[in-house]
Chain A
Amino acid sequence: MSGYLLNRLGQALFVLWAAFTISFVLLQAMPGDAILIKFQNPELGLNPQQIANIRASYAADSAIWVQYVQTIGRFSTGNFGYSVQAGVPVSTMLAAHLPATLKLASLGFVLAAVLAVAIAFVSSLTPFAWLRGALQSVPSLFISIPTFWLGIMLIQIFSFRLKLVPVINPGPWQELILPVVTLAVPISAPLAQVLVRNIDDVLTRPFVAVARAKGATRHWVLWRHVAKNALLPTLTIAGVLFGELIAGAVVTETVFGLNGIGGLTERAVGSQDAAVLQAIVVLSALAFVVINLIVDLLFPVLDPRLRTKAGATA
């Protein structure tokens, strides 16, 4: 078991290192020079010597491999450098923007899970074929809707037509309603698809037939026998969902003008702020790797069938 653990940890560290390197190569190879763009502006009245000093303070002119080693050293201690455009440390910016995104993302994720479970279980319980068909086609519709458009349509319908959610000066919770729904829709789609597939799969197993033969009702079998077995494999798409969450956060925060990591990402790209974008890329790769690591380690704990074999085969 500990050999497996070490192996998985090593893999995770490698992926993280490679993600850092790729983003470093991509972003340091940028043709634009962020420092020159900001400080060469004649209105600032800096002479060439001062600009050279500023460049030296960012170590912008040292050899690329020196920068690489320095950056990797800084990143591993949690220092993400300075944003040239904003003039503040990147970690300060991230810390300031993180709470808004965490609130949005956790609420959106909970709503997405509720939506997905409702779609999957209602469609499997309903006696009406038309309702099942309609519900099971909801995920493929959800997956085809551009998230930014959904946000705009929600504002249009609920704020401007029906005037249910105020646009100007909404309360702290009111302003979250539409963004959370917007974010939940694209996340719920893959979740519901996997759940529907898993439930259909589990329903064909012999133990379901045995339970039914013993006289259990459909509802009882679904909750008692199928739910657990169908929910577990959804953990495997946690990483995919995280990617959807990040993309959803960028778009949702831009549409609704929320001040979170997503909005920060959008502005960083707009102003070519490579330092901020690199920190966000590396941190989300870290989150992805950690999520997958937890899922892999959690599986034998949650699924007794894997416990005896985990060390040997997994």
Chain B
Amino acid sequence: MTTFDTIHDDVIASGRGQRTGRRLSLPLLMRRLPPGLVLSWLVLGIAFLWAVAPWLFTSYNPLEGVGGEQLRRPDAGHLLGTDALGRDLYARIVYGAVHSLAGAFVAVALGLVIGIGLGVVAGSVRRRLDDAIMRLVDVLLSIPPLLLSLSVIILLGFGTVNAAIAVGLTSVAGFARLARSEVVRVRRSDYVEAAFGSGGTFSAVLWRHVLPNSLTSVLGIAALQFGSAVLQISTLGFLGYGAPPPTPEWGLLIAEGRNYISTAWWLTTAPGVVVVLVVLAANRVSQSFGKVAA
């Protein structure tokens, strides 16, 4: 048996191992996954379901209060207590998920599309445009993110969508840098050279080879940015620049609870814990996408 055969056997064996690995029963698979990661996906899944179908999780109305039920402590009837107007806090958090998560989703999508677009163009074309785009990115990075989003807010006005746009623009620079470095890295690889050599056009090679190979790190960064966007949107909501008051947006819930800080601790505590859990989960998931560019 030659060395080559040994290696070959190893490859086949590991291939087999993988194949049998895929046929593992669900409980076995669960045991192999890190529990933190499973928990994180679970948190994100529940938050997503809250956003999509909030009525499945609570029978209370998030906007209309019940007389005589004001500022109830958390108990069996009201899991997280009620606020000053007698509205169930758990229901408000569940119905608020759509505002916080959709906002973060729009923000990440915006940053992703503009950032990746700029980065891919910068990484693909010749010097002049590349330099111009990367200088623009430097400038965007030189303005503290919160101030950049506040400038956008003052320009567009308050509101959920405007807050999402403002937060999204702060992530453009990061996405652009990542996309550019990925494109430059992949472009130098042999298989891209080969694809060009066998007559591939530029856009075809970009679509067929460069983008798929950059996807993991882009997804990792996108998950990270999602967590950060949830944080930033709740901050803007807290400052009063996001959704207007009756909306149960998470940052706004905390801001409203602030007035009852000495009497009703649950009003600020519960929505904050939910934000922390969602952000932690998003960060943990982003780590699992492999090495995220620092």
Contacts and interface: CB of A to CB of B under 8 A. Distances in A.
Interface of A: 11, 14-16, 18-19, 22-23, 26-27, 29-31, 140-141, 143-149, 152-153, 155-156, 160, 239, 242-243, 246-247, 250-251, 254, 265-266, 268-270, 272, 274, 277-278, 280-281, 284-285, 288-289
B136 A18 contact: yes
Nearest to A18: B139
A277 B262 contact: no
A183 to B, nearest CB: 13
Contacts, number: 132
Contact of B144 (A30, A147, A243): A243
A8 B16 CA distance: 56
B154 A146 contact: no
B241 A156 contact: no
Interface in B13-60: none
A146 B144 contact: no
| Chain B: number of interface residues, binned into ranges | 35 or more
Given A14-B135, A149-B275, A152-B258, A281 B143 contact: yes
Contacts of A144: 227, 231, 276, 279-280, 283
B155 A153 contact: no
Nearest to A167: B262
A30 B151 CA distance: 10
Contact of A277 (B135, B151, B231): B151
A269 B150 contact: yes
25 contacts: A15-B135, A22-B143, A23-B143, A26-B151, A27-B154, A30-B154, A31-B157, A143-B279, A144-B280, A146-B251, A148-B238, A148-B251, A149-B238, A149-B275, A153-B268, A155-B261, A243-B146, A246-B147, A247-B146, A251-B235, A278-B151, A281-B147, A281-B151, A288-B144, A289-B142
B255 to A, nearest CB: 8
Q: Determine which residue in A23, A148, A280, A285 has the highest number of CB atoms from chain B within 10 A of its CB, and name it.
A: A148
Contacts of A145: 272, 276
A87 B279 CA distance: 42
B30 to A, nearest CB: 21
Q: Which 3 A-B pairs have the closest CB atoms?
A: A247-B146, A149-B272, A144-B279
A143 B239 CA distance: 19
Contacts of B144: 242-243, 246-247, 284, 288
